[in-house]
Amino acid sequence: MSTLDSTNTLAPTGTTWVADPVHSNVSFEVEYAGVSIFRGSFRDFDATLEGSTLAGSARVASVDVKDEQLAGHLQSPDFFDAERYPEISFRADELTLADDGTVTGTAQLTIKGVTKPVELKGRLASAPSVDPFGRERLGLTLETAIDRTEFGVAWNAPNQSGGNYLGDDVTLTADLTFGKQDS
């Protein structure tokens, strides 16, 4: 059963919801040097929710980390290879909303030209509501974990304390605030 066929819908039927980049965030985190979690995000991204389908992309050149030199390295062939693969994309054709507000589904994620299915879990932050300016809003948070090496993001270095400098498991999170697209 699709989300639209159930009584618990993510978005009203027949509407298109577009992510508001000012009030949304697309981020990643990975274990760093065996002692902490490194976090980054993408400043330039888009997402559209139509019925039970969520699709979007992030521009690799917009990777946002606290060090300009590292941002350049992340865009190199060692990591995302922004010149050859300028976007990371995803598409979930059927998201399911449970009575408690949890959302699950499977998406196709493409990084560096490699497309693989990923399991999504998250929460519908709010049913459609109207902000103080009269705009309809909808909030959705989704998360997945991937092995970055399966997508060709395999750079690493040995850690002097043992193991590798970077973990292979990466958590991807999308905190999305959608606005109803005007007809």
- Which helix (H) or strand (E) segment is 130 a member of? strand 114-130
pLDDT digits (tens, 9 = 90+) for 96-126: 999 899 999 999 999 999 999 999 999 997 6
Gap between the Cα atoms of 140 and 117, Å rounded: 20
| CATH architecture for residues 3-180 | Beta Barrel (2.40)
Whether 1 shows a pLDDT value over 80: the answer reads no
What's the pTM value of the predicted model, to 2 decimals?
0.91
Q: How many CA atoms lie within 13 A of 119 on its CB side?
A: 3
What pLDDT sits at residue 128? 81
Tokens of 69: 């030199």
Whether 6 shows a pLDDT value over 50: the answer reads no
Tokens of 164: 């590798």
Question: Mean pLDDT, to the nearest integer, of 17-39?
Answer: 95
Q: Say whether 75 sits in a helix, a strand or coil.
A: helix
Gap between the Cα atoms of 132 and 127, Å rounded: 16
pLDDT digits (tens, 9 = 90+) for 137-168: 999 999 999 999 999 999 999 998 888 999 99
Gap between the Cα atoms of 120 and 96, Å rounded: 10
- Tell me if 119 sits within 8 A of 108, measured CB to CB: no
Write the CB contacts of 177 (distance below 8 Å, at least 6 apart in sequence): 19, 20, 23, 24, 125, 137, 138, 139
What pLDDT sits at residue 19? 97
Question: Mean pLDDT, to the nearest integer, of 17-44?
Answer: 96
Q: Average per-residue pLDDT in the chain?
A: 91
Which candidate, 121, 132, 138, 104, places its Cα nearest to that of 20?
138
